Each structure stands twice: as C-alpha cells, then as structure tokens.
Structure 1
Amino acid sequence: MTVPPLPVAVTMGDPSGIGPEIIAKMFVRRLDQRDWLVVGDPLVMQHAFAALGADVPVHAISSVDHAAFDGVSLDVLASSDLKALPPVGEVSPISGQAAFSAIVTAIKLACEGSVRGIVTAPINKEALSAAGHRYPGHTEILADYGGRVRVAMMLANDEIRTVLVTIHCSLADAIRRADFAAQMAAIRLANAGALALGIANPRVAVAGLNPHAGEGGLFGDEEITIIRPAIEAARAEGIDASGPWPGDTVFMQARKGRFDIVVAQYHDQGLIPVKYMGVEKGVNVTLGLPFVRTSPDHGTAFDIAGTGTADPSSLEYAFDYALKLRVPSF
C-alpha cells in the first residue's frame, strides 16, 4: 500500500493584507492540486472566497488527520477563532496576533512531522509588534520556534539564488555581525540549500562587503581579514566556495551560469538583484530548519488589500518550490 505524501501547510499571513486573497486565488486556480491545507482563521478564509465570488466551502479542522482533501473544500486548521473580521489594509494587533498564531502552529506541525513543509503568506512587522511579538520577520520566528540557532534566508528565482550572511538589521549592525562565524554559517547553508535543490557539487560564490571587494584593502579590509579566511576554511571542508567577488558583478556572473548560488553580505545586496527581476517569480527559502519553508517575495500590500487585484503568482511559485525542495538534513 502506497503511503500518500504529507501535505504542505500554507499559513494565512496577516488577515488585514493580501495573504488570504492570494491563498484563495491559488486554490481556485489549481483544480487538480488541492491536497494542501491552510493554517489560519476559518472566518478570514470564508470571507476571502466570498470576496472573490468563489463558491468554495471552508472545512475547519483541529488536526491534520481531520483534513478532507476532497478537491472541493479548503481545509483550514484553525489557529485562531476570530468573531469578526479585522480591519482591511491597516496595521492591527488583532491581525498581528492571528498571523503569529498561524506561524507558530504551522511550525509545530512541521516539527511533529504532520506536514512536509510550510509556505508562509506575508505578515506585517508593525502588526506583530503591536500584538506584543518583537520579531523583525518570519525568519527569526522560524529559528526561535524551530529550535535552530543558525538559519539563513535564501532568495531565488529561475536564474539566480542568494543566501544572506546578515538579514534584518541596520547596515551598521550588518557590518558588525558579518564576522567569521556568520560567514561560515552562510557558506555552509548555501551549499546545503543548493544540494536540497538537487544541484550536485554546488559552486558557491561569496560577495565582498566593500566596493570592488575591498580593492586589496584600499576600501576596507573585511575581505582580507574575515571573508577570505572563511572561504578558505569552507574549501577545506570540501565546499566549492570562491571569492570574495565584487558585489556589483557577482550576480551577473551567476546569472550567466558561472556560479550556482551567491552568498551576499547584507539584506539589500542580495535582495535587490532578485527582486529587480520580478517579485512574481521570487521565492524566499529559510535554510537551516529541519523542514521546508518557503514564502512569496513580497509583503502584505495593504494599499491593495480588499480590492481583489492581488496577484497570487509569487505564492504559487513559492508553493511549487516547496514541492521541489528535498526535505533538508542540516
């Protein structure tokens, strides 16, 4: 007897944003692929379908074992029980708490082995803070509740992939945090992430921190004192790492096929090249977790929430990426 694969859990995101709408649109568009569930609030998802004029029943469940996967109704594992809809397009502590509860519940399911991975719809950091949760983003919540000290963000599209040494912090803090240990963690996770995508013998390019990768120390010595020693240490471990390469050309080289993945030193250095190529094909992957986690490469879009105009393409791309990734063994 063949055991069916574990389902993917899609978290609702901030209910005041476009998360519920793009989830509903993905369900409506994928007639032959409905064996997944949402972790969130049943009332919010009912309203999302109603707003689209879609006659889709919401099947509220309390456990994955109760999911119907009948191809008609959307299974929603209830992580909250709202009695009224929160305001649309506004920062709300109610929405922040509902979004947080969905994430934590989904992490628990993944750690228990009830789902094979998580796809997370966008959250709003101000709403999280208003609800009393001082996290700068999904990545830090996943690390905390997933029980991991070192995780990394990988942004990817059809042409380039990048892993960040530092994530959500000021540029001044990023420079301080990009130490030898952070370099090694990012290089190792980049290599493991590429392997999880089925890339044999990944070629890992490491970007420099300073212009022209420091120009031999003329524009800063971090490349000489920190980044290059980490690359050499990674190569001693058998990782095909190279660099440091100038940050303004390394992504072009990766796009041409010279490298499989790029380690970027800070948030904007890595994300601008990916997002410039279009958020509809961008996906965020959290590396270092014992389960797969992906998300679309955009935010809650409060400015268009409730208008019915949100594009689900990036969510669908993130969902497909979650199915493609091998369950990691970090």
Structure 2
Amino acid sequence: MSFLLIIPIMQGGVIAYVNVINPTPEQMEAFKWIDENTPADSVFLATMDDAYLLIGNTHRKDVLLWKTIYQGMMGNPPTLKEKEMTEIEVKTIFTTSQPNEAYYFLEKNNITYIYIRKDMHQQGLGLYLPTDTHFKTLIVTGDAAVYQYIPNPPLKGEKAKINFTGDPEYEKITSFIEKFWNGYSYSESGGYTPKEDDTAKDLEFGSAFKGCYDSNAMIAVLYAKLSSKTGDTKFKERSDYLIEWLEYKQMENGSFPGGMPPAEYTLTTAQTIYPLKDLKTSETEKIVNKGLQFIENQINDEDIKIAANKESSQFMGTDYLKLKTKSQVGGISPDKKLVYNVIEKQKGDGSWTSTAYENIEILKGL
C-alpha cells in the first residue's frame, strides 16, 4: 500500500514542477469567474496542463489530473486500469467527431463544466461547443473559455436540411445556404487559417470558430422573408428555430463571441443583433435588447472596447478593428459621438487605412 502511495506523490511532484507557470490575465479572468459562479464541488473537463492551473486557482476538481495524480496523493490511488481508462475517456471527449460519444463520457464522469484554452476550438469537441445546444457558453476571454454541459437541452437540434423546389433563384440561394447546415445551425467549413496577430482579419475571413452567430441571424431574417414570398412554411420554421437557437446561445452578458481565439467581441455582437431588428418580434427584441446592453457597457463617451476585456487590437498604428467597431456600433446608436470620432480620424484623402476593403467596411457602418 505504501508503495502505491509513493508513485502518485512522486508523479504529483513532477507535475507541479513542470507546470508551475503563471496564467495569463485572460486565464485568470476565467478562473475568477469559475471561482465566483460555479459550485465548489463542480467537476470540470480539462487537459492535464490546464487542469493543474484550474485546480490551483479555483480549487475545483477536474477528471484527468484528479484521478491520475491528486486522488493518489489523498490516499486513494487508482488502479492502473482506472488511470488508463480515464486518460482514454478524456482524450475521446476532446477529440471525437461524434457528439453522442462525448455526451456519454461526460455523463459517465459526472462532468458539468468544460474548460478549454484558446487553441482548442479548431478540432474535435471545440468545433461543436459553440453550436451544439448541449453546451451553454459561460465565459470566453481569448485565452480560455468555459462551457456548461446540458444533458437534456430544452432546444433540440438534428433537423434536416431544407429542400426547396420552386423559383430557380430561391432554389439556388437555399441550396447554397443548406450546404453549411450542421444539425443545429449554419457554420463555415474550412477557409482562412487565422493568425493570432491579426484579430481583425480573422473576424473578417476566419472560419475556425464555428459559432457564426451573425451569419445565422442574417439567415433567420432571409428565411422569414422567403417564407412570405414563397408560402413555404419550412423557411418560417427554420427562421423561428434559428431565433430560438440564438437566444439560447447568447451569453448571459448579452454578447455573441467570435474570432480565433474567440472572445466576447463588441463587433460580432453588433453584427448579430443588427439584422434581427428587422423582424420586430418579442423573441428578437429580447435578443436585441440584451445585446444592446452589452454594447452599451463597452462604450465610454467617444471610446469603445473591442471586446469585454479588450480596449484595442494593437498597440501602435491605425487600429482598424477599433475603427470598424466604432463605425458599426455608432451607426445603430442614437448617440453619434462614436461616428463623429471615426470621421475625425479620416485622413485627407478620405481613407483611414491603406487597405481598400478596410475603408469600405468602416464606411458601411457610417
């Protein structure tokens, strides 16, 4: 028995030595949120490296590190088979492309919360966390994100693609959009590979983060209009579903995250709620008002944060993302201080940056 105890204690010492690193401010923001908003006995899913920081900063329990290291340190070491099984199950949850397999192991291990770092939205579980209704988005800081697993979500997905026959133009539009249906929403597949040092370009062209909330809002509005034009109820049903899905996926603070690594961007929130204003239903008004409150909280007189925890996207030079955020938010705001601030930064030749499409995007908001 004493020999069995020595092994995990030694393992724990090695883990502690290797993983004594300082978490980033954005990781600390997530840990603070966890500490203040989750029960002390919560069980988390995290990688081995992330779990060490998670346990150290929140005193919550994960599955992998707790089973393979800490359980032994507390006098109840797992068998080799139990240790190996836990490692396999955690790896499967993170890497499987079959959501039902992930659900099974999440429930088997009594996992309620999922903590992932910034590079984990690009494969396996990370691809469907933003879309699948089994997961509620709780906080997204850039370096980290926390989701809650919902075993029996109130909103079910797995709906079939829409197959429309009729007006040739509407057929083309529908056929193209339905290529991106994932069972819960519409999301891009493949495309631009994001660079961490170019947040603006990722928000413009990136496709690694599959939330695509702004695109789904536009599709909801488009399908509502197609239903009126064609009389086909499938469009109205899908539009109503997407609005429910957006309400479900909207974060508690009103934001819709985006980008890679994802964060609670002011711009993605504005771009999501803006098209919904046309529908003027009680459901869309609820989403819009909640989003507007989030946006309002990012505004300080003539300035605006690009995300809940980000003042700007770069330290020097023209901050295109900030200018675009100001112009698009200013365009839907009754207070025009942000718009005037953008105009004041316009150069003598009428441009803001040296890139044509960036100037067009800024102008679109005005």
Q: Structures share a fold, TM > 0.5? A: no
Query: For the pair shown, which has the larger CA radius of gyration, 1 or 2?
Result: 2
Instruction: Say which structure is richer in strand.
Output: 1
Instruction: Say which structure is richer in helix.
Output: 2
Whose RCO is larger (CA < 8 A, sep 6+)? Answer: 1
